[in-house]
Structure 1
């Protein structure tokens, strides 16, 4: 009986785990940042196929600590590249634009901007450690 209770608890906690609010539209993210006064965090990822991206998602993005930090401090704009994407798709065009604008070829990359869209910091290493990521991003709040 206890085994079933533990299994039910684990399953229900995953069901009620709140998702981190992310925008996949730059204009929406920027508008929300203007209204809230928060910085904008761009997440460049390929979370379904890129091994470092999968690690970042599991060890950082989906943690309660990062979720708390992000909800208090940033509006998230995520560009998540699927494995086989049409090169003319919006997500690929957004990825190309932002990687060129902020001069990064690394996946994953985190780019923190102020609410006006000016770069504060770019992080492309140490992205498997929530402590390192939160510490680096917290310096700009």
Structure 2
């Protein structure tokens, strides 16, 4: 009976939906993690409650199982969000941090903007907007090419 129960529990865990990848909010912590894990950093500028392309990119690519699997092995994820609705406002400290990131990595204020960084914060590649030509596979190919060239 215990074997059947254990097997049932194991199969339920396998069938459980994957959680979306964990997006950090602090670039300095992400740099430390990237150095320790020999990973690159994907910095994503979004307007989570007002930017249609941001919402679509997050849903179609960044929350996909394939991206989650890839990111778990290759990337440290950082999101710099700029919500507008009062109920979604970030702390003053987080807002200041995100604005600092925008000054350095997204000075034109484009949304969505995705920036690939090395573990030291050097820009390797960026993607502005959510063009129709951007697919999960093309994004992965671009990240892999930038990593190989780095």
TM over 0.5: yes
Q: Secondary structure at the match of 1:106?
A: coil
Q: Are the counterparts in 1 of residues 116 and 125 from structure 2 also a CA contact under 8 Å?
A: yes
**1:96 aligned to 72, 96, 99, which one?**
99
Partner of 2:53: 52
Normalising by the residue count of structure 2, what TM-score does the alignment of the two structures yield? 0.74
Q: Which of 124, 127, 138 lines up with 1:120 in the alignment?
A: 124
TM-score (normalizing by structure 1): 0.78
Instruction: Tell me the CA shift for residue 95 of structure 1.
Output: 2.4
Q: What stretches of structure 2 of length at least 5 have no aligned partner?
A: 1-12
CA distance in 2, matches of 1:55, 1:136: 20
User: Which entry has the higher C-alpha Rg, 1 or 2?
Assistant: 2
Shift of the 50–28 alpha-carbon distance from structure 1 to 2, 3 Å rule, reads same
Q: Which residue of 1 aligns with 2:7?
A: none
Displacement after TM superposition at 1:135 (Å): 2.2
Please show how residues 1-141 of structure 1 align to structure 2 within 5 Å.
16-84=17-85, 89-102=92-105, 103-126=107-130, 129-141=135-147
Gaps of 5+ in 1: 1-11
Per-residue CA deviation, residues 54-92 of structure 1 (Å, 9 max, x unaligned), is 110111101112112211111011112222366982332
8 Å contact kept, 2:49–2:85: no
Aligned residue-pair number: 130
